[in-house]
Amino acid sequence: MRRALAGFALLLSLAAGPALGQAAPQLSLAEARRIIAEGNREWGRARVALDTAAFERTLAPDFYVQMPDKRISRKEFLDMISVSPQGAKLVRFDASVLTVEPAPASGGWVATIQEKLEFERTDGKPRVYSLWITRDTWKKLGDRWVVTSSEAIGDEFWRDGTKPPFKDW
């Protein structure tokens, strides 16, 4: 009986730990959430300011964006976000961390993010509002945390001046 209990305890401890060959996350869930939330606040400020140095620091060298229909390289993404869209200026980029979970295969963390963007138009027409839900992978690279990938899992636009149907917009 004692041997059976010891074997059962061993199985429980193995089941509770990381899967074979996978490293355990070095951070608690709360600490990972804090780091990712702060990284997203910095990213939002950088997006509004068109701070290309911050873009370079935040995105891993092998970063990519996965859209439903294509993959966008780091360079293509940087080219897209480093200038204001013609006839518009980004005036709001707020990101909220919805979920955070370890990604043992990459040694990082996966976060589901809600992004609220607001564009002021230079032609006097109504503002454009955009809501994105992304799945971003964060990882520590040297002494800093970087985004290694971003997957667009949902988006919606309001182009006629109608504000999105959310209390905080």
What domains appear along the chain, each with residue ranges and CATH number?
A: 28-158 (3.10.450.50)
Coil, strand or helix: which one is 53? helix
Q: What values do phi and psi take at 165, rounded to 5?
A: -80, 55
The amino acid at residue 55 is F
Residues of the chain predicted below pLDDT 50: 1-25
Predicted local distance difference test score (pLDDT) of residue 17: 39
CA–CA separation, 77 and 101 (whole Å) = 25
Predicted local distance difference test score (pLDDT) of residue 26: 76
The amino acid at residue 5 is L
Q: How far apart are the first and last CA of the chain?
A: 62
Predicted local distance difference test score (pLDDT) of residue 37: 98
Predicted TM-score (pTM) above 0.75 = yes
Predicted local distance difference test score (pLDDT) of residue 100: 98
**Percent of the residues in the chain that have a pLDDT greater than 90, as a whole number:** 78
Per residue in 109-151, pLDDT (tens digit) is 999 999 999 999 999 999 999 999 999 999 999 999 999 999 9
Coil, strand or helix: which one is 15? helix
Coil, strand or helix: which one is 31? helix
Contact between residue 25 and residue 104 where contact means Cβ atoms under 8 Å apart = yes
